[in-house]
Every structure is written in structure tokens, then in C-alpha cells.
Structure 1
């Protein structure tokens, strides 16, 4: 049985979900800032 269909793993992942979005958001924000800085350097 694969990870995704096994209800034990699925429920475990669902329980861990509430803790993760902030970290994901921060990571996306960091990469977004890096991309912006790179574009800024290209223009100037």
C-alpha cells in the first residue's frame, strides 16, 4: 500500500498540516525576495 492511500499516513500528514503553512509561506517569501533582488540587479 502506498503512502498516499494509506489512511494512517494521510491522517498523520493532515495533523501535521496546520504547523507547516507559515514555514512554507516564509520560504516562498524568501525565494520571492531573492528573485526580486536578482531582477533588480539585472536592470541596474
Structure 2
């Protein structure tokens, strides 16, 4: 059984991979406030701007 990535409780089928809507909302909030970031390399356009 998988665990919730937020609170480590067992995940719920309805809210997978989270255990509840609350934990799913916490995760969404972290994405929206840039609490999580995806690393990326600068593109050629970004190199030209610098």
C-alpha cells in the first residue's frame, strides 16, 4: 500500500496518491505558491537575454 506524500498516512483510493482532500489541497497550494520547482536548463532564448 502506498503512503500519502504529505503526511505519510496510508493513501486513499478516492484521493490517490493522497490520504484525503486536505492533503491534496496542501500539495496544490505548494505548487501554486511555488513551494515546488522543476529544475530546468536555460533555453537558447534565455541565454540571449542575459
- The TM-score range, normalised by the shorter chain, is 0.3 to 0.5
Q: Which has the higher contact order (CA 8 A, sep 6+)?
A: 2
Greater share of residues in helix: 1
> TM-score, structure 1 length as denominator?
0.37
